[in-house]
Structure 1
Amino acid sequence: MAKASEIKNGNILRFNGELVIVNEIIHRTPGKGGAFYLGKFRNIKTGKIVEARLGTDEQVEICRVETNNYQYLYEEGNYFVVMDYDSYEQFNVAKELFGPAAVYLKEGMDVIVSVESEEPIMAQAPNFVELEITYAEPAVKGDTSSGALKNVTLENGVEIKVPLFVNQGDKIKLDTRTGEYVERVK
Structure 2
Amino acid sequence: MIAISDLKSGMTFEQDGKLIRVMEASHHKPGKGNTVMRMKLKDVRTGSTTDTTMRPDDKVKKAYIEGKDVQYLYAQDDMANFMDLETYEQYEIPTSVIEDELKFMLENMEVKIQFYGTEVIGITLPSTVVLEVKETQPSIKGATVSGSGKPAIMETGVVVNVPDFIEAGEKLEINTQECTYLKRISK
Q: How many Å separate the matches in 1 of 2:15 and 2:150?
A: 48
- Give the drift of 1:159: 3.1
Match of 1:177 in 2: 177
Q: How many Å separate the matches in 2 of 1:104 and 1:81?
A: 15
Count of matched residue positions in the alignment of Structure 1 and Structure 2: 160
AA matched with 2:162: V
- Give the drift of 1:101: 3.0
- Give the drift of 1:85: 0.9
Mapping of 1:104-143 within 5 angstroms? 104-141=104-141
**What SS does the corresponding residue of 1:101 show, helix, strand or coil?**
helix
CA offsets 1:14-64 (integer angstroms, 9 cap, x no match): 543323469xxxxxxxxxxxxxxxxx9x6433454696978xxxxx99866
Are the aligned partners of 1:82 and 1:90 in contact in 2 as well (CA < 8 Å)?
A: yes
CA RMSD of aligned residues (A): 3.6
Q: Are residue 19 (structure 1) and residue 22 (structure 2) matched? A: no
| Greater mean alpha carbon deviation, residues 175-184 or residues 90-99 | 90-99
Q: How many Å separate the matches in 1 of 2:131 and 2:115?
A: 28
Change (3 A) 1:44 1:132: same
Change (3 A) 1:69 1:141: same
Change (3 A) 1:71 1:145: closer
Are the aligned partners of 1:172 and 1:184 in contact in 2 as well (CA < 8 Å)?
A: yes
Gaps of 5+ in 1: 1-6, 23-39, 55-59
Q: How many Å separate the matches in 1 of 2:83 and 2:163?
A: 36
AA matched with 1:165: F
- Give the drift of 1:136: 3.1
AA matched with 1:90: Q
Are the aligned partners of 1:79 and 1:93 in contact in 2 as well (CA < 8 Å)?
A: yes
Q: How many Å separate the matches in 2 of 1:142 and 1:180?
A: 22
Give % identity.
26
Q: Are residue 88 (structure 1) and residue 59 (structure 2) matched? A: no
**What SS does the corresponding residue of 1:167 show, helix, strand or coil?**
coil
CA offsets 1:61-113 (integer angstroms, 9 cap, x no match): 98664321211111122221111111101111123433523211111112122
Gaps of 5+ in 2: 23-38
Match of 1:75 in 2: 75
Q: Give the TM-score of the pair, scaled to structure 2.
A: 0.66
Q: How many Å separate the matches in 2 of 1:18 and 1:168?
A: 44
AA matched with 1:115: F
Q: Give the TM-score of the pair, scaled to structure 1.
A: 0.66
CA offsets 1:99-132 (integer angstroms, 9 cap, x no match): 5232111111121222234321132222211011
- Give the drift of 1:134: 2.3
Change (3 A) 1:149 1:86: same
AA matched with 1:122: G
Larger Rg: 1
Are the aligned partners of 1:98 and 1:124 in contact in 2 as well (CA < 8 Å)?
A: no
Q: How many Å separate the matches in 1 of 2:145 and 2:14?
A: 54
